[in-house]
Structure 1
Amino acid sequence: MESGYNEQLNDKLIPTHWPIEHLLISSSCGERFSSPFVLEGRVKHLVLLLTSGLRFEGPTSSELSRANKEAIERGEAEAHYITVREGTPDERKIQIVSLPALTFDWLRDKYTNPDRSTDPETPVPEHVNTEILEVLENDALDTFTRMTLALPHIVTNLKTLNLRSTNGHDFNLTPVDFFHQVLPQLIELKTFVFTVGDIFEEADFLPLFYEQFPPNISTLRFRGPISLAKSEHWKKWLEAFANPKYLPNLARLSFVLDLAYADKEEGGRKRLATEDELKEGRAACKQLFDGLGSRGVVVEAFRDEWAEKSDSFDKVDERWEQIGGEEAL
């Protein structure tokens, strides 16, 4: 389902009798899901591609706007305006309504107000079909966190999870700590694909993230920033992966460190890695692979099918394998 120019979500119109197994929703923004295919986990494979601000509970955007207007009329909320054509005879004020701000206020009230119930709004169905979830770019980690809060019965049922966040648009609606707490609880998850960049405010968040991987996964595909190889905590990753008690069911591993970013003082935007940086990332990955020892883990190349399908996603740097040969998987 492609939302088109207006980025609206129209999942409510999907006929519920359709035998859908794979549902892809692309580019929709700032609305609440309505379809039982999503909210009740009826679809086996759900993909949220380049979406932003989608919600799985609470009022719709229209309901949020209406409630805000009524609160302003009662004097319980403040209206916000901008001035256009200032200094001309046509100068006037336009009222601005920020849906992300209204959404944030609603979520904050639900999960911090002791008088509010934090129980999920959607009743738990007898059977959940959703086993594969992919949330790709924009606020992917934030979206996944919101889904976990609203639909825990779906998230805890997942067998495969693919999260991709490399552009720094995350965590506008939920705290990063929520995401930090979720993954270790996914005890049914078997495959975890995680592509993540230097997007966290806290310097040690990603360098210590190896502790948060779902505990029972048999397949891990990880693509991250080269900065991880330079971290003082990289040694802990090596020690963890060398320990048979860490991710004890791990059988297949892909691990690449090829993402590079400008300094935070320069905006922190993604950039092309230098060859020396790629060599450093490749050497760090070789250390990790060598440390696997007799664990019997099969090391495989990282393949990103979405990057192969869409120009919106960067493929693994083509120099990666050239620099490291077979060791650069």
Structure 2
Amino acid sequence: MSLPPAPGFAPSAARGAALDAAVRARLAESLDAIADSAEDGIPCDRDAIRALGRAVAAHPVRSAVMVRYTEAVTAVTAEDLPATEAALAALADPALRAPPGPALRVMTLRDADLGPGGADAYRRVMDDDPETPLAVLPLEEPALRAASARVGDAIALLDDGFAEEIGAVAPEILAVRGRPGDRIQFDGATSFHLWGCFALNLGRPRHPIELATAIAHESGHAVLFGLTMGGPVVANPDGERYASPLREDARPMEGIAHATWVLARMHLAVSGMLGSGRLDATGRAIAAQSLQSIARDYAAGLSVMARHARLTEAGAAAFAPAEAYMASQGIGR
């Protein structure tokens, strides 16, 4: 299956829907392959998994589908038969075939939101960096209701194209909080293996502009994952480490490239907020300061990439319109 072409940099509902459809088409093929391979003797409801594949191909589904699929692939690769049987049983759950619903959904890390065993499954998929173990907790009900309202207010500050694209590539937001006392607090996370969702720390106060920028940040990662079909942006080995524009610690080039592309998207989002006429004086000051920081971090990331990055074909296609946009703002090469 070929990669989708990289469209213009401006977000849109059409681009989001196209990326989601492309990811789901590949996922549906993989689910059929899992059902076929299970015929070799792994006990499971193959018909239910094929039915899930048909649903995935036909319409958007909840992020739990990709999470459960990732768990199944991980278990099969590890040749862990009990884990494989459990993962395939989870894929057979009819609840996974339902569409996510028409509105953006804010949920938290609990089975009531994510399905039986869902909290642990989402944790396992998110906790993929052994150097920085995941340290997040679910929100309690009052905080979750408040978080949903805060997300709605923040997204309302973004241009319609952003809001509509986010609704296509990440209609679910996993609201969590950091552990009290941790020196480094979790801010947010996006993974191709969470397709349809990203996680945000909504357990601490943020100005609506800061929250809107964070949403643009995380959804930007989702869009880039869609543009590359979860493949790498760069060909640099993961073992190589470089200075990162967004992290204190040195990072692999893949992370730096993702961060740099996403900074361009954040710049576009904040510029749109500044030009909307909807911000008060305090909001304009916050947005203007944020724009300066974003431009500085983008230039730093691009400088590291210019010296060391080896872009893949998909990475180069995704970066071309991002660089063109930032260059039009007088930032970059």
TM-score, normalized by the shorter chain, greater than 0.5: no
Task: Please state which structure has a larger fraction of its residues in helix.
Answer: 2
If asked which structure has higher relative contact order (CA below 8 Å, sep 6+), I would say 2
Task: Please state which structure has a larger fraction of its residues in strand.
Answer: 1
Structure with higher Rg: it is 1
